[in-house]
């Protein structure tokens, strides 16, 4: 098996192991077991556990960039709505919930690890800029009010992140769904020029 293939297998195994054990309970042995390889092999490819995990986050961010970069040619409203709905974790998506839970633990470690921190800041920037560019486009098209773009983008991301965090940490089903609906309704009032929904504003 080539180094490349092994690398991919280890990344995949890390993902699976993280979902099963969480970040706190994750051991090199767990990853090795998932990969069907020996623990020593992990140390052959990566010096330390921290190195392996930094590589894993980089790998995640690369994936994520690819997925975000796929810009459909829909209207700004639709693109914004799709973006928001993309955050919803449905009750049956257990693996996704487990993974975001592990990611939450990992994010909390960023304060103690500069390499983690760097990656996470980049992903934050990417998320906010993705939303900001949709809003800017909408303003340019005249379909969104001329709001302050960056703060609104930050609020949208914070709201979605908060809802997801609460859904997975409190083991509730409804948080992202409820909050996304509410957020969309708020945006229709404050952002969408031509809102089909009857709103308090007039």
Is residue 48 involved in binding DNA (CB under 7 A)?
yes
Is residue 143 involved in binding a second copy (CB under 8 A)?
no
Structure tokens at 188: 């229709």
Contact 142, 125 (CB under 8 A): no
Q: What are the φ/ψ torsions at residue 192 (nearest 5 degrees)? A: -80, 120
Residue 96 contact, options a second copy, DNA, none, Cβ 5-8 Å cut-off depending on partner type = none
Structure tokens at 161: 């992140």
Total residues at the site for DNA (CB under 7 A)? 21
Contact 190, 141 (CB under 8 A): no
Residue 67 contact, options DNA, a second copy, none, Cβ 5-8 Å cut-off depending on partner type = none
Residue 39 contact, options DNA, a second copy, none, Cβ 5-8 Å cut-off depending on partner type = DNA
**Smallest separation (angstroms) from DNA to the CB of 184:** 42
Tokens 């302050």, located at residue: 148
Residue 57 contact, options DNA, a second copy, none, Cβ 5-8 Å cut-off depending on partner type = none
- Name which position in 91, 140, 142, 151 contacts a second copy (CB under 8 A): 151
Is residue 130 involved in binding a second copy (CB under 8 A)?
no
- Name which position in 48, 71, 91, 108 contacts a second copy (CB under 8 A): 108
CA 35 to each of CA 9, 32, 160, 164, 182: distance values in angstroms, whole numbers, following the listed order: 6, 5, 33, 29, 42
Q: Which is nearer to DNA, 55 or 178 (CB)?
A: 55
3-state secondary structure of 9: helix
Is residue 86 involved in binding a second copy (CB under 8 A)?
no
- Name which position in 12, 20, 33, 39 contacts DNA (CB under 7 A): 39
Contact partners, residue 171, CB within 8 Å, separation at least 6: none
Q: Which is nearer to a second copy, 31 or 84 (CB)?
A: 84
User: Per CB under 8 A, which region of 9-17, 53-61, 66-74, 149-157 contacts a second copy?
Assistant: 149-157
Distance CA 61, CA 142 (A): 33
Distance CA 11, CA 17 (A): 10
């Amino acid at each position: 098996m080539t180094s490349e293939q092994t690398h991919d297998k280890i990344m995949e195994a890390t993902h699976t192991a993280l979902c099963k054990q969480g970040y706190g309970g994750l051991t090199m042995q767990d990853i090795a077991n998932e990969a069907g390889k020996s623990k020593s092999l992990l140390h052959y490819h990566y010096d330390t556990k921290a190195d392996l995990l930094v590589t894993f986050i980089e790998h995640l961010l690369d994936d994520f960039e690819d997925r975000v970069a796929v810009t459909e040619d829909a209207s700004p409203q639709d693109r914004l709505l799709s973006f928001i709905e993309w955050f919803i974790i449905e009750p049956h998506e257990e693996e996704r919930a487990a993974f975001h839970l592990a990611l939450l633990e990992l994010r909390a470690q960023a304060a103690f690890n500069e390499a983690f921190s760097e990656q996470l800041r980049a992903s934050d920037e990417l998320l906010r800029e993705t939303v900001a560019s949709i809003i800017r486009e909408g303003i340019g098209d005249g379909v969104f009010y001329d709001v302050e773009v960056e703060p609104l983008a930050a609020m949208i991301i914070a709201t979605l992140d908060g809802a997801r965090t609460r859904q997975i940490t409190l083991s509730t089903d409804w948080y992202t769904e409820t909050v996304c609906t509410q957020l969309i309704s708020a945006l229709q009032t404050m952002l969408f020029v031509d809102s089909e929904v009857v709103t308090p504003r007039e």
